[in-house]
A and B are shown apart, each in its own frame.
Chain A
């Protein structure tokens, strides 16, 4: 089945540093979504990408939908302590009947003040 490889698995950074994480797949996706999950809560949507090559920002977050439709990255600039959490990429397969997302394994981000 389709799988997403997300890297890195974890990151330990200093407050103020920039962060970059990415997802790759052997299959194409029609939509890429980036979520953040805090302990005990459901994932919260950060950025949605719908077109190959699309570059979208949400405050300090920037994400891109890869040209090949098989990858996406998320950058966080000038990290702050509240950025701590687990970040997931998710892709929606083509010819999808609806509602199915394939998730990456997650990137756990720790920020040292």
Chain B
């Protein structure tokens, strides 16, 4: 069974640009969550999608957005990039998103903003 796939693995962007990251969940999983990991703040929840609907949102500015497609693949977008957006972005998939089946993480996308 294929795991959670995130693309690209590495990305370098310039301040002010926008970026789109992709996450393909485990087959059959309908919940996809996104997290930002930085040395200073640790792992912070961004948002969660279930069956194409955003069910939960963390405390991030509106520059961070996401969506989920009918095949459960998800994308997150960051507009007007700032230096502080440099981080490892992780997505996690779950069958239900209730925690009962656990959450499986991808290897992440390392975003560097210069």
Contact A103 B42, beta carbon cutoff 8 Å:
yes
| Size class of the contact patch on chain B | 20 to 34
Interface size class, chain A: 20 to 34
Residues on the B chain within 8 Å of A99, using CB: 31-33, 45, 47-50, 55-56, 92, 94, 97, 103
In the complex, A105→B84 CA distance in Å?
19
User: How would you classify the secondary structure of chain B's contact residues: helix, strand, loop or mixed?
Assistant: strand
B16 within 8 A of A: no
Chain B contacts with A in 3-60, Cβ cutoff 8 A = 4, 6, 31-33, 35, 42-45, 47-50, 55-56, 58-59
Is B108 a contact of A41 with CB atoms below 8 Å? yes
CB distance from A31 to the nearest CB of B (A): 4
Contact partner of A100 (CB less than 8 A), chosen from B42, B56, B90, B102, is B56
Give Cα A88–Cα B44 distance, bound, in whole angstroms: 13
